Every structure is written in structure tokens, then in C-alpha cells.
Amino acid sequence: MSTLTFLGAVGEVTGSRYLLEVDGNDRTHKLLLECGLHQGGIDADEANARPFGKLARELEGVVISHGHLDHAGLLPKLVREGYSGPIHCTRGTRDLLEIMLQDAAFVMAKDVEWENKWRKRQDKPLVEPLYDLDDVERTLALCEFHRYGQPVNLPGGATLVFRDAGHILGSAIVELTVPSGGQQKRLVFSGDLGNPSSVLMRDPDKVYEADVVLMESTYGDRDHRPLDETLEEFAQVLEKAHEAGGNVLIPAFAVGRTQEILYHLSVLYHEGRLRQQMVFLDSPMAIKVTELYHRARKALDAEDLKVLNIAASGDTSQYLPILRMTRTVEESMAINRIHGGAIIIAGAGMCTGGRIIHHFRYNLEKPNTRLVIVGFQAAGTLGRQIVDGAQRVRVLGQDLAVKAKVHTIGGFSAHAGQTDMIGWAGAFRNNPRFYLVHGEPAAQEALKAGLAESAIKAEIPAYGDRIEL
């Protein structure tokens, strides 16, 4: 009998990892579905540092739904510890992984450098990063990319098919057909389901056949506001920020959210509703991803691109004329000389590091600053502290008062809301077993109750739980 073991993203949003043990004719074959980084505090760091042990050499294949670090950020660590088999993903995911993993390795190297300077002074043992750029290069060399709908043979007689999840570039719903107990069983993993209202991405594919479904539940406790209301709120916040005379800070995820925010700023600009004088995209990684989205525009929603008149020619010179992309540290530091009238988009999306932290030092204590939160903030992150109303926060060794006005605009989410998830789950025939992953406990319980009202029974697994397919 083939089995699935839950090794991550249970009772939390990050750290996606599931071990599939396939009951082949000759022996058991081990496959890993997802290899995500845990995010959000000391517990996450400890979980990331835990060795894979002998599993790294026993695995015969890895399947990745999409390129966000919470789904793929530990791949180079797996390779560093001995994995040398194929990593199956889409082309968009492969291209994003090159950007995301190289950036993660660079940040880790810097963090470890600072940590070891302190450890030397304290006469403590030095630490090593989870992985380095050499590990990333070996990881990328193992990637095998596949088109949506293309069947792929895996060890043990399993078959893989990717479907469009509509979340970010290359994101996929994973279908795995697996021999189990003399039968063929179908396991479907939703990955991160996209929000049908968000721009640039196509709507998530519906899937109709499954025996077991793993479904994300990030926003399982609520629906997002309608997009037109969200855009009007966003426009009003920017207008009030202009009147107040301060800067607007937008912590944004480099993949997906940044490109969507730029899209909406472009629309507002061409409608004459954007009164700020300058928009800064202050994230080297987000800049690379934005350029990738431009190159891969044929994979994006054609109707949304028509609004910007760039689908045919690819000419982006008038996309957002006041946009400045700041790649270097010097360019980033120069932004801090601007005391008002600027929109600053920078990572990290959950305010756990990156250039947004430096902009906090210069803007967070100013009452005329507007901090616009446009993405999910996981428990334990600085962004979550601020959203939860912290009056003071610790930033780069400084204690800062949060005097900026904070706006949380949830309608920009690239994740499906509760109603969309229930609708997606309702398309399956023959009552498959549902397991809710990628959600905090309250969101999972709310989604479980919502599914029950539609006669869909779902379970919430715990870490280490093992099920038969």
C-alpha cells in the first residue's frame, strides 16, 4: 500500500513537505512532494536546520508545485545533503527558482557573516548557512520542467501531471497517479490556488477526479474583498498619503504580488489618479522577477495585458513612466533622502529582512508615512507584529515607535478565498478524502466547517501523520 506522510505546512502556512512512498512491484520508491522553507521566527530557523538524514539519498524524485520559498526554498539543502535525482516542475517555476534560490543563498551568506562576527567576539562556535550558491547551481541542474497537462513517468509506476493553479508564474496543481494495493490511486495537491479576481494570472484549473486531495487553507476563514472595492481603497490610501505629504511603504513579495501592484499603479497612473511623483521598485530580486514576467508574458492573462496595451508589441516604455528600479545599495540608500511623495515597494513581503527594513528606519516613526500591507503576514514575523497593532518594534537593533498609519488591504491576495476554495473542492466527483494543509489552525477549522456545509468532509493532519492512499 502506498502512503503519504505529512512533514510540513501542517498547522502553519510555510514549510511545505510531504513524503510519498510508492508501492512498486519490486520495492518501495520514495518521492518528495515540495521542499519548502519554514518562515517566521526561531522555531522556523530550527526546523530549517534539521538534517534530512538518510532521506536525502533515498529519494528518487522531487516534485515542486511552484517557486515560492515556502514550497521550494530548502531544495539546495536537500542537494547539499546528498540528493542527486530529478526535480520536476514547470518551466516558469524553474526560471523563478533560479532567481529565488540565488537570492536566498546570498541573503543567508550575509546573515551568517554577521552572526559569525558576533560569535567570534563571544568565543562561540561558528555557524554555516543552510546552503550556498554552489548548492543552488547543482539544484538548478537537476530541474526537469514540463508543460501543463503533460504526463510524466515517475519511479514505481507513478505518473505526474501539472495543471495551472493560477497563483504565480508557473504555479501548478499537482496530480499524481500512484499504484497502491493493486489499484491506481490519484493524489491531487492544490499547491497554492490562485485568486480568480487577481490580475495577470489565469483562473485555477478545476480537477474532477481524485482519491485523496491535499488542499491549501491559507485564507480558509474569509473571502477577499471584491477587486473593485480593493482598488478604490488602494487609490484612496495613496490620495490621503499625498495629502499628508509622506512616503508610502509597500512590503511586497518579489514574485506575483509586486507585479500585480505595479499593474494597478500603472492603471491608476494612466487614469490620472496617481499623484505621487515617483515609484521605486527597491528589490533586485523583484526587478529580476518583473523582467521575467515581461519575457514570459505569453503565459499571462491576455485580457489583463490588453488593458496596458503591451501584449502585442511588448513595449513597456509607457507602462509606468514614474517607475524607477533601484538595483544597487547606493541607489536604495539615496531613496532615504526623499521625505515625501514617493511610493517605495521593497521586500521582504513579511518584513523579515530585505530593504524594506531599512526604509522602516527612516519612515516608520513619521505620522505622515503610510504603510500598506498587501500580503499575508505569517505568525512570528515583523509584519504580523505591526498588523496586530504593535506600538513599538525592533528593527536592525533599534527600538522604533510605529507612528506610521498602517493599512491592510487583503483583496490583492494571490490566494483563493474561502468561497473559491470550497468551489474548487466541490468540482471533485466521488467524494475524495480531503486533508487541509498550508493554513493556521483558525483558518483550517473555519474552512473545514465551510466544507462540511457543502457535504465535503475534510481532516486536519498533524506533523508526522501518515495515511494510506
Mean pLDDT, consecutive 10-residue segments, the chain of 469 residues?
A: 96 95 90 93 87 97 96 98 98 97 92 89 92 98 98 97 96 97 96 92 96 97 91 95 96 90 92 94 93 89 73 56 94 94 93 91 96 87 93 92 93 90 97 96 97 97 96
Q: In 3D, which of 406, 369, 413 has the Cα closest to residue 385?
A: 406
Domain boundaries, the chain: 3-222+414-468, 227-412
pLDDT at site 314: 46
pLDDT at site 24: 81
Q: In 3D, which of 428, 426, 445, 427 has the Cα closest to residue 436?
A: 445
Q: CATH code for 3-222+414-468?
A: 3.60.15.10
Q: Please give the model's pTM, rounded to 2 decimal places.
A: 0.89
C-alpha span between 314 and 331 (Å, rounded): 27
Task: Output DSSP code: residue 37.
Answer: P
What is the four-CA torsion angle of 337, 339, 341, 346, rounded to 10 degrees? 60
C-alpha cell at 146: 514540463
Q: CATH code for 227-412?
A: 3.40.50.10890
- Same topology, domains 3-222+414-468 and 227-412? Answer is no
Task: Report residue 338: phi and psi, to 5°.
Answer: -95, 120
Q: In 3D, which of 143, 135, 31, 30 has the Cα closest to residue 89?
A: 143
Q: In 3D, which of 440, 403, 456, 391 has the Cα closest to residue 11?
A: 440
Task: Report residue 341: phi and psi, to 5°.
Answer: 85, 10
pLDDT at site 308: 62
pLDDT at site 317: 54
pLDDT at site 312: 40
